[in-house]
Amino acid sequence: MKFIPDYSLNIISEEDFSQKIVEIETTLEKIKVAGSYKAFDGIDIAYEYFLSQNSKASIVIVHGLSEFTKKYYEFIYYCLNQGFNVFIYDQRCHGLSGRLTDRIDLLHVDSFDDYVDDLTRFIDDVVLKTVEGPLYLYSHSMGSAVCALYLAKHTDKIEKAVFSAPMFVPVVDSVPLPIARMGVSVGRLFYGNKTKFLLTSEFDPDAQYKSDYCSSKARFEHNMMMRVENPSYQSTPLTFGWVHNSLIVNKKIFKKDVIDKIKTPILLFSAERDMTVENEPQYKFAKRCKNCQLIGVKDTTHAVLASDAETLTRVMKQTFDFFDF
């Protein structure tokens, strides 16, 4: 069953969100195709895809840290209504995908190259075997770091890409980045690579809305409701291994022979009030990557897709104009 688009862009208002998101979820549950594939190390990677009638292209979504497929249903609906097919998967240790430790909530990765391999297999073994035509990427935060590394290897497969608040360098409190790297490296040796990082937080089911994380209270509360109801969505604490790899991924991305290989046109959204990732590396990436256009999103936090309706309307219009141009 395919979605029938009307090509309108009506972003849900704060007041109508709780009602409209239920209608969207009901619609998408009826048309989704769900499955899984085996990653290189044997763990299951869960995915879903949605087809739009008379589609003009397909968008692959690569989510960020602690996220999951269902969190993107609102955005998926907007994409379908613009005539795009949508493919999305849960990254390892996220959502319905397999875990690498004995804790369902613990986020670990041995290397960001593993994330890249998962994306490669998803595109090759699921997306390209299902649809033909132009292929686009939409990524957020950690997902954008994964996509940058992917594009350096497979830029010929992707026609356009959007990076939303990309995590090239996470915000590190109190100490310079080299000192943080050193401290985490020592911790890995002492405590173990897959051990919970001492400074990371557990999932808090009673977390309250804060405007410094996202500007839409309704979207925040809906996300929390989904996480509370499903333990698979509660991935929050990080291992020493994940933290280590997040602190060195910029070294991989900013190698000259990596950025120079990226030929795919990129639209990069930089959130003005981002307290999760550093903005300066985004400016540096946009300057060095020949085909990257940077747009600063004023008065917006890291969770760009959880912005107020006015901001989200502007960002969605810019996104779809970029994909359609």
Tokens representing 158 are 């992707």
The answer to whether the CB of 37 falls within 8 A of the CB of 125 is yes
Q: How many CB atoms lie within 10 A of CB 107?
A: 26
Q: Write the CATH number for 91.
A: 3.40.50.1820
Q: How far, in Å, CA of 140 to CA of 280, rounded? A: 17
Checking if the pLDDT of 49 tops 90, the result is yes
> Is residue 127 scored above 90 in pLDDT?
yes
CA distance 7 to 82: 5
Residues constituting the chain: 325
Determine contact, residues 279/146, Cβ cutoff 8 Å.
Answer: no
Beta bridge partners of 88: 48, 61
pLDDT of residue 212: 80
Query: How many Cα atoms within 13 Å fall on the side-chain side of residue 266?
Result: 32
pLDDT of residue 221: 97
Instruction: Classify residue 243: in a domain, yes or no.
Output: yes
* Residue 130 in domain: yes
Instruction: Please enumerate in sequence order all residues whose Cβ is within 8 A of that of 76, keeping only pairs 6 or more positions apart, or say none.
Output: 28, 50, 61, 86, 88
pLDDT of residue 173: 81
What pTM was estimated for this model as a whole? Answer: 0.97
From start to end of 44-145, where are the E strands?
Answer: 44-50, 57-62, 84-89, 135-140
Tell me if 5 is assigned to some domain. Answer: no
Enumerate residues 6+ apart whose C-beta is below 8 A from 172.
180, 247
Looking at the domain assignment, is residue 3 inside a domain?
Answer: no
Q: Which single residue is written with the structure tokens 């991935």? A: 235
Average pLDDT over residues 300-323: 96
> Is residue 166 situated within a structural domain?
yes
The answer to whether residue 111 is domain-embedded is yes
Examine residue 8 and state whether it is found in any structural domain, yes or no: no
3-state SS assignment for residue 58: strand
Domain that holds residue 267: 17-324
Judged by DSSP in three states, 206 sits in coil
Q: In the chain, how many domains are there?
A: 1
| CA distance readout (Å), 224 to 69, 77, 230, 313, 324 | 14, 20, 10, 23, 33
Per-residue pLDDT band at 65 (split at 50, 70, 90): very high
pLDDT confidence tier of residue 182, bands split at 50, 70 and 90: very high
In a domain, 197, yes or no: yes
Asked if 291 and 260 count as a contact pair (C-beta separation under 8 A), the reply is no
